[in-house]
Structure 1
Amino acid sequence: MDQESLSKLKTALHFVWNSGDYETVARTLEPGAAAFFDRLAVGPGDRILDVACGTGQIALPAARAGAKVTGLDLSENNIEKANALVHAGGLEVKLDAGDVEDMPYKDETFDLTVSLIGAMFAPRPERAAAEMLRVTRPGGRLVMGNWADGGFIASFFAALAKYAPMPDIPSPLLWGDEATVRDRFAKGVASLALSRHPYRIEYGTPVPETVEHYFNDFGPSMVAVADLDPDDREDLREDLEALFTRHNIGTAEAVVIEAELLDVVAVRA
């Protein structure tokens, strides 16, 4: 990809992730995020970088656990909302707007570099992986929680792609494929452990309102449907309502989805 094409792509991705209300989305993701955080085993004094931190689902509990936390996100809107939550909680977290593919941190700065369903959306996965390893100290951990291939989330994005073409980049869901992850971390790591875990998403709304939430609050789906004609928009709505209905393990009035996460734990060489 030439520099001009990359610049246009970055501008488009910045617009996508700066759209919507990710804080609202994050609330539905809290049960699974809490379970993922517990698996990190964060300790007091740990120097942690939360990459693509959103509104702070990992950064905030890490700070409460006594870690020294930095958060990075492409969206200035997310950083602003995360800062408000940090201040409301009386916490100390350094939050920066920036790109995982070109991070403003020195080599070997962090004991733990972590990204929960965030860095997987970077357009150049090998570059993102190299940057996350670069800022992690030797013997430190790089941990990613990525949507697993073939699960509910893959079906959700496939439904969107049926009506609105996705950017011409490697599929983010390849980060949920074990063979691909092993290839991407074939160098620079002392060990690599992969494991799959359920990820509980609680919406607290019926199926129609749950789908409307994605149309109104989640940047990628908001942008995907913005230019659809009314018929395609209604067809997509019906497809998504059918998908959520099939996978709902909650009640008719409060949808609950159990997605699947691939945990990636790389120890830097």
Structure 2
Amino acid sequence: MNPNKALWEKGDFTRLAATMRESGDALVESIGVKRGMKVLDLGCGDGTTALPAARRGADVLGVDIASNLVAAGNKRAAEAGLRNVNFQEGDASNLTDIRDRQFDLVVTIFGAMFAPKPDDVAKEMVRVTKSGGRIVMGNWIPNDPTLVAQILKTSAAYSPPPPEGFVSPMTWGDEDIVRARFKGAGVPADALWFKRDTYVFNFPGAPSAFVDTFRRYYGPTMNAFAAAEQSGKAEQLREELETLFTAQNTSTQAGVTSCSATFLRVTVQI
């Protein structure tokens, strides 16, 4: 199996996505999704941004490499009575079923950044966007002190070395690298804009329970714990993550965890 597909079909990312809904809706509002727009949500998960876009009247296609998340997205859409959104399997680096210049907006929030072959990802996003359309990416930032970048950094420290030729998804959080990738796709540097933005995770439980959710359901953290268990360091990894989650928690309510994570919002004008 494709290793990236295996990673995101592992566990159950919907458990994490449930903590991200409010920020997903706010982000869709902020990027100006309007009725009648054709929107591609790439690396869509179970629809944290796709469903809010559809609720605003856009015609939405969600594409994700994980079959379980595609099924979950279609289920959520059906339960919400939304007929203007559909989810299908696909690889962000090779969108074989999608015609050129089809979408007014291509949005990918912490999705396409994890696909291999990032140069191909940039080219595919540009290819399927209409002239005059936009691409909006949300990408975690390397070495950022907030929650998700630190989870991924800590998890990587306990995981086996990546295979030869591996390109870290965190490189999508480097503005110079993003410019170079889109330049390779034919986009001039003055057609790109960057902004630091914030996503909030709201979890109905203590920080330790939130760590347990990542441990059981989030592919990268699951892999880190599997490796840590083999080396006898699982308890050390758990303690590190609990310290991180507790320090990042801004909620004043007992039994509720709220953590903010800074990301790089990339806007590309085609």
Q: TM-score, normalised by structure 1?
A: 0.91
Q: Which residue of 2 aligns with 1:25?
A: 16
Q: Are the equivalent residues in 2 in contact too, given 1:141–1:267 (CA < 8 A)?
A: yes
Shift of 1:261: 1.6
Q: What secondary structure, in the 3-state scheme, does the structure 2 residue paired with 1:141 have?
A: strand
Question: Among 79, 90, 93, which residue is 1:98 paired with?
Answer: 90
- Aligned positions of 1:1-269 closer than 5 A: 11-92=2-83, 93-103=85-95, 104-151=97-144, 152=146, 153-165=148-160, 167-168=162-163, 169-186=166-183, 187-189=185-187, 191-229=191-229, 231-251=232-252, 253-268=255-270
Shift of 1:234: 0.8
CA distance in 2, matches of 1:259, 1:229: 27
Q: Which residue of 2 aligns with 1:7?
A: none
Q: Are the equivalent residues in 2 in contact too, given 1:36–1:145 (CA < 8 A)?
A: no
Structure 2: segments with no counterpart, 5+ residues: none
Q: Which residue of 2 aligns with 1:6?
A: none
Structure 1: segments with no counterpart, 5+ residues: 1-9
Superposed CA RMSD: 1.6
Q: What secondary structure, in the 3-state scheme, does the structure 1 residue paired with 2:2 have?
A: helix
Shift of 1:166: 5.3
CA distance in 2, matches of 1:97, 1:223: 23
Counting aligned pairs with the same residue, the percent is 38
CA distance in 2, matches of 1:28, 1:107: 34
Q: Mean Cα displacement is larger for which, 90-99 or 41-50?
A: 90-99
Q: Partner amino acid for 2:150?
A: S
Q: Partner amino acid for 1:173?
A: M
Q: Which residue of 2 aligns with 1:3?
A: none
CA distance in 1, matches of 2:15, 2:186: 37
Q: What secondary structure, in the 3-state scheme, does the structure 2 residue paired with 1:28 have?
A: coil
CA distance in 2, matches of 1:166, 1:64: 42
Q: TM-score, normalised by structure 2?
A: 0.91
Q: Mean Cα displacement is larger for which, 243-252 or 60-69?
A: 243-252
